[in-house]
Structure 1
Amino acid sequence: MESCGMSIIKYLLFFFNLIFAISGIGIITAGAIVLSDVGEFSHFMENRMLATPIVLIVAGVIIFIIAFLGCFGAIRESYSLLLAFAIFLLVIFVIELAVGIAAAVFKSDFEEALKSTLKSSMKTYYTNNSEKSAWDNTQKTLMCCGVDGPTDWTKSQLVIPDTCCKDINKTATCVSGNYDKGCFAKLKLRVEEKATVLIGVGIGIAFVQVAGIVLACLLAASIKREGAK
């Protein structure tokens, strides 16, 4: 016969898994939004800069699937399913923790890598169509010019692109001056803002995961004790 405490834990775990399934959808959504937004400027980003949202999307899908395993295990009162659920949650938690640590370590190298890529890319603006397209899109979208400012183009002995101009008339003449902010600062801010969103989502999900692991272990232990009677 099912004890009162065991019954409470079972339904608490079922409730947490519903929240967990919703959180999985939340992680997928947050990762996709960040990847879409920052990915627009992926030409200047190293692959590892885009790894975090991709990993979170994959983790979100796995979390969504695992949540159903937890719900099923709780309702069926299956010791093996609950144990598998707790182990899967722990593995996902460790992966998320590793990604977070890697992102924190990489943060110190991020600025230097981004600025170096921008500077080398600028030199081939007029000879490489993909570089030109990437710069034009970035300068238009972020309303910026050059790496640190418009003078970066002239220092490199290049003509300042039309996409640096705030307003161009019908004769392709810049009538209101160039953007004074550089693209490096704008891109850096964009990435940092999205990183903050991912960190917030990750911390919130981590608390839910820990609660799920504890409840699953408690229920599994209760089921084992009941079976031993």
Structure 2
Amino acid sequence: MTFSIILSTVFILEFITLVTAYTLQDDVNYYLSKKMEDTMKQYYKNPAAQNTIDNLQQNLKCCGYDGPDQLMKIVAYKSVILIEVYPSSCFECENSKCQAQLFTQGCHQTLADIVNDNTVSLITGVTIIIFVQVVSIMLACTLERMIHKHKMDRNMRMCQKRTTRQNIYVPFDKTNPTTTFHAVHI
């Protein structure tokens, strides 16, 4: 019974998460946009932000927030003079040799596409897990009932045997009915 209660609790929490993820699906894009923009603004100030953006740009083959021009605006904030230099992560690089072709697509749209494309897969996966848990809950309850029934049947048989043994008296002395003994069954 405890196992069923635990599984039911996990099921309810997963269902709430599934509904929340589905209803906040549009808000994910806003939060993603806000965090990415904040991180981009810290590109030259924070080494951790720079490393994160470089990895993102290299792995997704993108440059800047909305493209290389957005990155140029951020570079312009760094100094008074606009520097025409893009980070090496905005180029296709192999073995520390970068090619001259600049990634033209912005990272925000690329990342948003990945999140939106995988949302359906995520919801499907969670739905399958929830289904398996519901089946597990039903099987656990069935098993618990079977164990309880087996114990009840065993107790009932033991009680019947005791009653049967108590009711079978063979007189020891046929002349004296008070001297009796229990019959022994082998």
User: Once structures 1 and 2 are overlaid, which stretch shifts more, 145-154 or 195-204?
Assistant: 195-204
TM-score, normalising length: structure 2: 0.65
Q: 1:133 aligns with which of 35, 51, 60?
A: 51
Question: 1:199 maps to what in 2?
Answer: 123
Shift of the alpha carbon at 1:167? 5.3
Shift of the alpha carbon at 1:139? 0.7
Change (3 A) 1:175 1:89: closer
TM-score, normalising length: structure 1: 0.54
Structure 1 letter corresponding to 2:138: V
- Give the secondary structure class of the aligned counterpart of 1:108: helix
Question: 1:102 maps to what in 2?
Answer: 20
Change (3 A) 1:218 1:144: same
Equivalent residues of 1:167, 1:176 under 8 A apart: no
Structure 2 letter corresponding to 1:191: V
Change (3 A) 1:209 1:167: closer
Q: 1:162 aligns with which of 88, 107, 116?
A: 88
Question: 1:117 maps to what in 2?
Answer: 35
Shift of the alpha carbon at 1:137? 1.1
Counterparts of 2:93 and 2:132, CA distance in 1 = 50
Q: Which has the higher contact order (CA 8 A, sep 6+)?
A: 1
Q: What are the residue-to-residue correspondences of 1:1-229 with 2, within 5 Å?
A: 83-156=1-74, 157=76, 159-166=85-92, 176-225=100-149, 227=152
Post-superposition Cα deviations, 1:20-40, rounded to whole Å, max 9, x if no partner, equal xxxxxxxxxxxxxxxxxxxxx
RMSD between aligned alpha carbons?
A: 2.8
In structure 1, stretches of 5+ residues that fail to align are: 1-82
Relative to its length, the structure with more helix (as a share) is: 1
Shift of the alpha carbon at 1:107? 1.9
Equivalent residues of 1:93, 1:206 under 8 A apart: yes
Shift of the alpha carbon at 1:176? 2.9
Counterparts of 1:217 and 1:196, CA distance in 2 = 32
Counterparts of 1:176 and 1:96, CA distance in 2 = 48
Equivalent residues of 1:140, 1:163 under 8 A apart: yes
Equivalent residues of 1:167, 1:177 under 8 A apart: no
Question: 1:25 maps to what in 2?
Answer: none
Shift of the alpha carbon at 1:181? 1.0
Question: 1:64 maps to what in 2?
Answer: none
Equivalent residues of 1:124, 1:131 under 8 A apart: yes
Equivalent residues of 1:149, 1:180 under 8 A apart: yes
Query: What's the % identity of the aligned pairs?
Result: 31
